[in-house]
Amino acid sequence: MKTRLGIFISGGGSNMQSIAKACEQPNFPAQVSLVVSNIPDARGLRFAKQLGLKTVIVDHQSFSTRKDFEQEIQKHLVKAKIELVCLAGFMRILSPFLVEKWQGKMLNIHPSLLPKFRGLNTHKRALEANEKTHGCSVHFVTVGLDEGPVIAQSTIPVLSDDTIQALQARVLIAEHILYPQTIKQLCQ
């Protein structure tokens, strides 16, 4: 039986697409069973629909509390029989309410070599810190922001003439390989 994935997005959804593509391989041990977006017009939703994936919009702005928002998400996850949640560019911080329900079963991809550069603007900060290497990490989600145990990392060199955009683009390519690979290992 393939592991049923729920992928959370807020934007472009390129990581979601790379996971969905990997899931198309017959021997891949997981399938995308639901894509959740908190942004009604997230670009990634269009790609998800093109790929024939089931999608749901849970707009955080429609809920007066974080718990109500997360309760609605949880309802959809249960209904779709989700077994593993993959945050992929999901730009809401989740509270203990949802995180604790999915302990050990919720992953995130972060564009830095954690524990370096938690939070936003990781590429800019890596350049400013004169890092020689940079990359991305897949980690379990815990209540602390980008603090959960790291499962896998991919490292790339920082070039002497790198710009934020160039570095970001190369890290994103690494993300598209690392995330499906890590899901495969976990599900096998």
Binding site for ligand GRF (CB under 6 A): 9, 11-15, 44, 88-89, 109-111, 136, 172, 175
From CA 142, how far away is CA 148, in angstroms rounded? 5
Output the smallest distance, CB 1 to ligand GRF, in A.
27
Q: How far is the CB of 128 from ligand GRF (least distance, A)?
A: 18
12 vs 29, beta carbon nearer ligand GRF: 12
User: What letter does residue 155 receive in the DSSP assignment?
Assistant: E
- The residue at minimum Cβ distance from ligand GRF is 89
Closer residue to ligand GRF, CB minimum distance, 120 or 129:
120
Catalytic option among 60, 76, 110, 134: 110
Instruction: Answer for the pair 136, 88: CB distance below 8 angstroms, yes or no.
Output: no
Supply the minimum distance, in Å, between the C-beta of residue 29 and ligand GRF: 21
- Name residue 51's amino acid: L
Please confirm, yes or no, whether 110 is among the known catalytic residues: yes
Please say which residue, 6 or 44, places its beta carbon nearer to ligand GRF.
44
Q: 6, 23 in Cβ contact below 8 A?
A: no
Separation between Cα atoms, residue 35 and residue 109, nearest integer Å: 16
| Chain centroid to CA 161 | 29
Known catalytic residues? 110
